[in-house]
């Protein structure tokens, strides 16, 4: 250990060594999990959304089994809770929240944004979903139903947002580039 090692680095190394000594996980397995975690980002979910917009078979898989759909895109889901995907329609808009803590589909969206974990967002999303949406600049017509869905430790959710008009001739990569994290939580709408 060098003098510049932080206490956190030393603690991490000690935990990795202990896990290896107890045959719980090898350093290689731990390094693999760290690499998977580091690769997770909203770009992963955006690729899934874009594929669903252009490929009806993939869309059906995504809505039936989000975990298998993620794995079909090369996103490792081993050890993650099952992933459900909620489809927004012109009549129904989904808003995802975790009312107890911050359960979040990290494998496909990366780390949750700071506001997602806040007590204010968690409570208000259930109590006043349209107000929360308005805070993000999302104003839906009154005839669009808003459904709040609770992510849990046992099941994670993400939203398949509506594909914006005017993108019919766009390829998958271009579509993925316009999908934001908030679109897949349901607080924002995709715009070209």
From the candidates 2, 41, 101, 177, give the one annotated as an active-site residue.
101
Q: Which of 2, 41, 102, 177 is catalytic?
A: 102
User: Do 67 and 80 form a contact (C-beta atoms < 8 A)?
Assistant: yes
Q: Is 102 a catalytic residue?
A: yes
Tokens of 46: 């955006």
Considering 41, 98, 118, 151, which one is annotated as catalytic? 98
Catalytic residue check, 98: yes
The rounded distance, in Å, linking the Cα atoms of 84 and 55 is 18
Instruction: Please give, one letter per residue, the 3-state secondary structure of 26-86.
Output: CHHHHHHHHHHHHHCCHHHHHHHHHHHHHCHHHHHHHHHCHHHHHHHCCCCCCCCCCEEEE
How many C-alpha atoms does 165 have within 13 Å on its Cβ side?
1
Report phi then psi at 22, rounded to 5: -85, 0
Q: Of 2, 41, 103, 177, which one is the catalytic site residue?
A: 103
The closest of 156, 97, 157 to 127, measured between CA atoms, is 97
Catalytic residue at 103?
yes
What is the set of active-site residues? 98, 101-103
């Amino acid at each position: 250990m060098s003098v510049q090692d932080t206490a956190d680095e030393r603690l991490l190394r000690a935990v990795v060594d202990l896990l290896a000594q107890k045959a719980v996980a090898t350093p290689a397995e731990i390094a693999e999990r760290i690499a998977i975690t580091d690769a997770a980002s909203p770009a992963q979910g955006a690729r899934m959304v874009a594929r669903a917009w252009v490929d009806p078979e993939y869309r059906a898989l995504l809505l039936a089994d989000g975990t298998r759909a993620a794995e079909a895109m090369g996103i490792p889901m081993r050890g993650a809770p099952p992933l459900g995907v909620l489809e927004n329609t012109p009549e129904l808009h989904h808003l995802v929240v975790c009312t107890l803590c911050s359960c979040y589909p990290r494998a496909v969206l990366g780390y949750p944004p700071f506001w997602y974990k806040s007590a204010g967002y968690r409570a208000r999303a259930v109590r006043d979903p349209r107000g929360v949406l308005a805070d993000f600049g999302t104003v839906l017509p009154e005839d669009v139903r808003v459904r709040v869905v609770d992510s849990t430790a046992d099941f994670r959710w993400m939203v398949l947002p509506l594909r914006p008009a005017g993108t019919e001739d766009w390829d998958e990569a271009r579509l993925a580039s316009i999908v934001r994290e908030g679109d897949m939580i349901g607080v924002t709408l995709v715009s070209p």
